[in-house]
Amino acid sequence: MPWNWTLPDWPDFRYDASVLETFEQKFLLSSGEIVGAVHHVSQPDREQLRIELLSDEAMQTSAIEGEILDRLSVQSSLRRQMGLDPDSYPTKPREQGVAEMMVDLYSGFADPLDHETLFRWHHMLLSHDRRLESIGEYRQHSEAMQIVSGRIDRPTIHFEAPPSVQVMPEMERYVGWFNKTGPGGAIPLRGLTRAGLSHLYFESIHPFEDGNGRLGRALAEKSLAQNIGQPSLIALAFTIEKERKAYYDQLEFHQKTLDVTEWLVWFAEIVLKAQQVTLDRVGFFISKAQFYDRHRDQLNDRQEKAIARMFREGPDGFKGGLSAESYLKITGTSRATATRDLQDLVEKGALRRTGERRHTRYWLCARGAPM
């Protein structure tokens, strides 16, 4: 079967716009709900909320590619990039690079797309990687750009991209298409449709030696942000990572055809799920702030450390609840002190207790946290 870019009508993707109409309406409605939810966060806390949402996306877009980052280093880098008071946690090259790209994407979402932006993002992401021949520029190697798996002697080829000599003209056409289809462009497209097409189109060209997946998802987020007129802050990479196999299966199938209705429906469903994840996270962030307001100056250092660790797990909470053994490991205290601390937290209404003896578990008493 030929690849999509070899077909005579490439890159004229075909799809049924009527099938997407309901998704497009839900997207706009959910976008408004996210904006409203963020406005309920106090101004001093908004920057921290942005850092948490951006760091989650940075972590997950890397995790999709099998790269595990240091969350605290990512957040420290984000604080520096956003001009906030830096913390003392050391930054690392990979984490600093993806943080730079996320902030550049966030702050420049409304800017037209150009090659220089893509080169800048690529350099931010991969300047630490000494294995690559080309960083901050499109690929130039003569070998075929293939996505393969399996044994070296019997590989399975999932996709082969256009040869390097075709990349610049293909990307000239892509950049022109991206800008023409944006709000105010010559041929504007609806938000989900444009973002889904922009991602598939970019991945089909695969213009860089490495980092195409992360850059393609960044372009989808830029597209969504342009269509709603502000940074989307949705958990797109987080949601894709949860359905990584389906994501790669969808890309592989639709890189062999120009009929992409099924891809756009799948992508639209992912974006709507991502918006709900963001709404849940904003609600959890507000609950966290309210929790600390209620218990200000009521917790000792050990209790503060354990509570912070529980909140760090996010809306899904501490898997299985907090046990006394976990409290001991987090705080390094004695068993007798741990028992007193936990009972005190229950009496103050900070934690809720379930079970008995070795099955006893503790849960945060915060709206939006697991109960």
Q: What pLDDT is recorded for position 142?
A: 87
Residues 213, 301: one domain? no
- Helix-helix angle 93-107:71-81, to 10 degrees: 50
Q: How far is CA 290 from the centre of its chain?
A: 26
Query: Which of 116, 161, 166, 111 lies closest to 137, judged by CA?
Result: 116
Asked if residue 345 is part of any domain, the answer here is: yes
- Looking at residues 109-115, what average pLDDT do you find? 98
- pTM of the shown model: 0.88
Q: How far apart, in whole angstroms, are the C-alpha atoms of residue 166 and residue 32?
A: 41
Q: 295-309 b/e with 16+ CB inside 10 Å = b?
A: beeebeebbebbbeb
> Cα separation of 276 and 31, whole Å?
10
Verify that 54 and 197 share a domain, yes or no. yes
As a whole number of angstroms, the distance between CA 162 and CA 322 comes to 52
Q: 159: helix, coil or strand?
A: strand
Side chain identity, residue 52: E
Tokens of 351: 């934690």
Co-location of 351 and 273 in the same domain: no
Same domain, 93 and 202: yes
Amino acid at site 368: G
Domain endpoint, select from 249, 284, 319? 284
Number of C-beta neighbours around residue 147 at 10 A:
18
For the beta carbon of residue 9, count every other beta carbon within 10 angstroms: 9
Please identify, among 254, 284, 314, the residue that sits at the C-terminal boundary of a domain: 284
Residue 290 resides in a domain: no
pLDDT at 42 over 90: no
CATH value at residue 318: 1.10.10.10
Residue 1: which pLDDT band, with cuts at 50, 70 and 90? Answer: low
Q: Own/partner pairs for 80-85, CB < 8 Å, 24+ apart?
A: 82/47, 82/50, 82/51, 84/47, 84/51
> What sign does the CA torsion over 81, 317, 350, 298 have?
negative
Instruction: State residue 85's pLDDT score.
Output: 78
pLDDT at 146: 87
Q: Which two tokens stand for residue 3?
A: 């690849």
Residue 370 counted as domain residue: no
Token pair for 84: 């906030």
Predicted local confidence at residue 367, as pLDDT: 63
Residues 366 and 351: their CA atoms lie apart, in Å, by 9
In the structure encoding, which two tokens stand for residue 333, read together? Answer: 């205290």
Asked if 90 contacts 70 with a C-beta cutoff of 8 angstroms, the reply is no
**Is the same domain home to 306 and 180?**
no
Question: Is residue 371 predicted with pLDDT exceeding 50?
Answer: no
- Please give the pLDDT value at position 298: 95
Of the candidates 284, 316, 340, which is a domain's last residue?
Answer: 284
Q: What is the CA radius of gyration of the chain?
A: 23
The yes-or-no verdict on residue 15 having pLDDT over 80 is yes
**265 and 315 inside one domain:** no
What sign results for the dihedral spanned by CA atoms 40, 44, 47, 53? negative
- 153-201 tens-digit pLDDT: 777 888 899 999 999 999 999 999 999 999 999 999 999 999 999 999 9
Could you tell me the pLDDT band of residue 369, with boundaries at 50, 70 and 90?
low
pLDDT band (50, 70, 90) for residue 263: very high
User: Does 202 lie in the same domain as 144?
Assistant: yes
pLDDT, tens digit (0-9, with 9 covering 90-100), for 304-343: 999 999 988 877 677 889 999 999 999 999 999 999 999 9
Within a domain: residue 261?
A: yes
Asked if pLDDT for residue 368 goes beyond 60, the answer is no
- What mean pLDDT do residues 247-264 have? 97
CA–CA separation, 8 and 199 (whole Å): 21
Residue 226 in this model has a pLDDT that exceeds 80: yes
Q: Are residues 223 and 323 in the same domain?
A: no
Please give the Cα distance from 305 to 299 (Å, whole number).
Answer: 9
Which helix (H) or strand (E) is 231 found in, with range?
none
Task: Provide DSSP, 15-57.
Answer: --HHHHHHHHHHHHHHHHHHHHHHHTS-HHHHHHHHHHHHHHH
List residues bridging with 156 in a β-sheet.
Answer: 149
| 352 belongs to a structural domain | yes
Residue 58 binned pLDDT confidence (cut-offs 50, 70, 90) = very high
Residue 188 CA to residue 191 CA, distance in Å, equals: 9
321 and 269 inside one domain: no
Structural domain span for residue 160: 4-284
Residue 97 lies in a domain: yes
Give 247's Cβ-side CA count (13 Å radius). Answer: 20
219 and 336 co-located in one domain: no
Asked if residue 371 belongs to a domain, the reply is no
Mean pLDDT for the chain overall: 92
Same domain, 171 and 305: no
Contacts of 180 (CB under 8 A, 6+ apart): 186, 187
Q: How many domains does the chain have?
A: 2
Share above pLDDT 70 across residues of the chain, in percent, rounded to a whole number = 98
* Confidence band of 139 (pLDDT split at 50, 70, 90): very high
| Residue 222 maps to a domain | yes
| Domain of residue 35, CATH code | 1.10.3290.10
- Claim to verify: residue 249 and residue 318 sit in the same structural domain: no
Give me the residue label for tokens 């298409």: 177
